[in-house]
Amino acid sequence: MSIGLKPASWAYAESFVVEDEVAERARARAIELGCSPVLPGTGAALRLLAATLAARSVVEIGTGTGVSGLWLLQGMPADGVLTTIDVEPEHQRAAREAFAEAGVAGNRTRVISGRALDVLPRLTDGAYDLVFVDAAKTEHDDYLSQALRLLRPGGAVAFEGALFHDRVADPAQRDETTTSVRELGKAVRDDERLLTALLPVGDGLLVAVKRA
C-alpha cells in the first residue's frame, strides 16, 4: 500500500515548527545573495538530530548565510562547537552576523573559508558527532568518505537535497546532478556501516548513523 504525502500535509509539516526572527532575517539575506537556505522543516529536523546526539562537535559543509547553522546550534549543548565551511566569504560574513544576532558565543563557531575538500582532510578522525552536507551534489561521494572518517561511532551524517526537486524519484530524470544524488542515496542505504533513513522534509534529508 502506498500513502502519498499531499501538498497540504507537506506545507503543514514545514510550518509546524516556527522559525525565529533571526533565522528569518538570515533567510532573507540568503535570498539577496542568491543562495538557497534549508527550509524550516529541514532546520527543525537538524535541530532534533543535534539534540538527540547531544552533539558537541558538528561539521557543516556549506555555511550559506547561517540558517542551518542557527538550527544546529539550537539543538547542540551550550558548550557545543559548530565548524562550518564555505567557499564564499560574503556568505560567511552574513552567517557571522546571524550568529552574533542570535547571541551565539564566539567560541561556539569555527567559520572556515575554503573549498571543503581541501579543509576536511585537516580535521581530526573520529572527533565529530554530526556532519551536515549542503554543498555541491556532484561531490557527495567525497563528502561521504570524509564524513565516515570524521564521525565517532554512533555519530550521524545528513545530506540536504536528497529528493532534489522531486527529480530523484523520477527514473526519467538522468541529468548529472540528479543521478549523483540518486546514487548517493543507494550508496548510503547499502553501506553496512550505516543505518539510514530518507526524510521527506524540505527538499529531502538523507540521514545515516554510523554503527557503533
- pLDDT for 37-59, tens place per residue? 999 999 999 999 999 999 999 99
Q: What is the pLDDT of residue 1?
A: 45
Query: Which residues does residue 160 pair with via DSSP β-bridges, in sequence order?
Result: 205
pLDDT of residue 62: 98
Q: 3-class SS at 51?
A: helix
- Asked if the model's pLDDT at residue 7 lies above 90, the reply is no
Q: Over 90: is that where the pLDDT of 4 sits? A: no
Indicate the pLDDT class of residue 3, thresholds 50, 70 and 90.
low
pLDDT of res. 162: 97
E strands of the chain, at which residues? 57-61, 81-86, 109-113, 128-133, 151-160, 194-199, 205-210
Which superfamily is assigned to 7-210 in CATH? Vaccinia Virus protein VP39 (3.40.50.150)
pLDDT beyond 80 at 75: yes
- 112 pLDDT band, cuts 50/70/90, is very high
Domain spans, the chain: 7-210
Average pLDDT over residues 139-147: 96
Residues of the chain by 3-state class (helix, strand, coil), percent to 5:
45, 20, 35
Q: pTM here?
A: 0.95
Give which of 121, 112, 122 is closest to 88, Cα–Cα.
112
Mean pLDDT of 180-200: 97
Contact between 78 and 51 under an 8 Å Cβ cutoff? The reply is: no
